[in-house]
Amino acid sequence: MEILTEIHRKKGINVNGKTIHRTAVRAVILRGRDLLMVYSSDVGDYKFPGGGVDNGETHEQALERELREECGASLLSVDGELGAVIEYNLAEEKDFDIFKMTSYYYFC
Assess whether pLDDT exceeds 90 at residue 89: yes
Assess whether pLDDT exceeds 90 at residue 42: no
Task: Quote the percentage of the chain above a pLDDT of 70.
Answer: 100
pLDDT band at 94 (very low <50, low <70, confident <90, very high): very high
Higher pLDDT, 41 or 85: 85
Count other Cβ atoms within 10 Å, centred on residue 57. Answer: 15
Contacts 24+ apart (CB under 8 A), 44-52: 48/105, 49/73, 50/24, 50/25, 50/26, 50/103, 51/24, 51/25, 52/22, 52/23, 52/24
CATH number for the domain whose boundaries are 3-107: 3.90.79.10
The model carries a pTM of 0.92
* CA atoms within a 13 Å half-sphere pointing along the CA-CB vector of 35: 9
Alpha-carbon distance 108 to 98, whole Å?
31
pLDDT in tens, 5-30: 999 999 988 899 999 999 999 999 99
